[in-house]
């Protein structure tokens, strides 16, 4: 991926981090304010709203930090940037685990009593820990596998169809341009097959292990596999941003 494309993706992800907090806040509605009243005069809904706003502010900060580390690595793949991205991913996962634990400790037996369906959906969403449920060693391996596959994808080179000695064509901008502009069937076939051979083939063993770890994480979240977990998460994500998961069956 070239620097301009990576920058655009990074900006998009930062905005999604910001929107995570904005869209997670329910609109003011008199109906939503009706609920169980505490001794201090606040309702359960009001307490829940304050709690979620606190969570979302921190989520925006953590998400943005992880996104910048990812952008730095993806736009300039070096060992140093890889270590920084791995550290940021682990920090982000640790935050999710802390947030999830707070929901369990403070709201496990209370959020289902909320009258506001939007608030209830947010708590149900936050009750799914996701890949952060993996033990630390497995989580580190999971992140490392993803980084390895990203690097293979981003750095794979193929030889030019018209000049066999020119073997430095990369996905961006070379192959993207050829696939967009060429009308030569043989050239398109060559580009597609060589790209698959020099990138996807190398990922095969990585992907198999990734699937096992992804499904292990899903089972720790009481789902059959990551595909099932993704469906649940997607349903709970209405009204907020959702980055699609890979459907990985058993």
The pLDDT value recorded for residue 237 is 52
Banded model confidence at residue 109, pLDDT cuts 50, 70, 90: confident
Give pLDDT tens digits for 42-100.
689 999 999 999 999 999 999 999 999 999 988 888 999 999 999 999 999 999 999 99
Instruction: Identify the pLDDT of residue 35.
Output: 47
How confident is the model over 176-202, as a mean pLDDT?
A: 94
Q: What is the pLDDT of residue 235?
A: 61
Largest CA distance in the chain: 79
Asked if residue 75 lies in contact with residue 13, where contact means CB atoms within 8 angstroms, the answer is no
Q: What is the pLDDT of residue 28?
A: 45
- 3-class DSSP assignment, residue 158: strand
Phi, psi angles (nearest 5°) of residue 54: -65, -45
The single residue listed with the structure tokens 């060992």 is 79
Residue pLDDT, tens place only, 14-32: 445 644 444 445 444 433 4
Q: What is the pLDDT of residue 227?
A: 83
Query: How confident is the model over 127-148, as pLDDT tens digits?
Result: 889 899 999 999 999 999 999 9
Q: How far is CA 109 from CA 33, 46, 47, 51, 105, in A?
A: 20, 17, 14, 15, 9
Alpha-carbon span 199 to 196, nearest angstrom = 5
pLDDT for the residue numbered 16: 52
- Residue-wise pLDDT tens digits, 205-232: 999 999 999 999 999 998 888 888 777 6
- Which residue pairs, CB below 8 angstroms and at least 24 apart, start in 55-58? 55/99, 55/102, 55/126, 56/20, 56/21, 56/24, 56/25, 57/21, 58/95, 58/99
Instruction: State the Cα–Cα distance between residues 144 and 140, nearest whole angstrom.
Output: 6
pTM of the model: 0.73
Which has the closest alpha carbon to 184: 195, 196, 192?
A: 192
Q: Could you tell me the two tokens for 122?
A: 């947010």
- Which structure tokens are listed for 68? 């910048």
């Amino acid at each position: 991926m070239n620097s301009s494309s990576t920058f655009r993706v990074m900006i998009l992800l930062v905005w999604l981090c910001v929107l995570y907090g904005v869209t997670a806040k329910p609109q003011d509605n008199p109906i939503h304010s009706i609920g169980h009243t505490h001794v201090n005069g606040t309702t359960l809904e009001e307490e829940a709203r304050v709690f979620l706003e606190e969570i979302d502010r921190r989520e925006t900060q953590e998400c943005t930090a992880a996104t910048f580390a990812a952008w730095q690595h993806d736009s300039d793949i070096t060992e140093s940037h890889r270590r920084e991205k791995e550290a940021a991913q682990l920090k982000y996962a640790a935050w999710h685990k802390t947030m999830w634990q707070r929901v369990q400790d403070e709201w496990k037996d209370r959020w289902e009593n909320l009258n506001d369906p939007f608030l209830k959906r947010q708590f149900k969403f936050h009750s799914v820990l996701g890949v952060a449920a993996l033990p630390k060693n497995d989580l580190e391996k999971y992140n490392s596998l993803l980084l390895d596959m990203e690097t293979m994808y981003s750095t794979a080179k193929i030889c030019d169809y018209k000049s066999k000695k020119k073997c430095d064509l990369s996905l961006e901008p070379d192959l993207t341009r050829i696939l967009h502009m060429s009308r030569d069937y043989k050239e398109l076939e060559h580009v597609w097959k060589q790209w698959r051979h020099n990138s996807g083939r190398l990922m095969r063993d990585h992907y198999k292990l990734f699937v096992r770890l992804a499904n292990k994480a899903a089972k720790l979240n009481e789902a059959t596999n990551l595909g099932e977990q993704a469906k649940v998460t997607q349903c709970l994500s209405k009204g907020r941003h959702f980055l699609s998961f890979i459907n990985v069956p058993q």
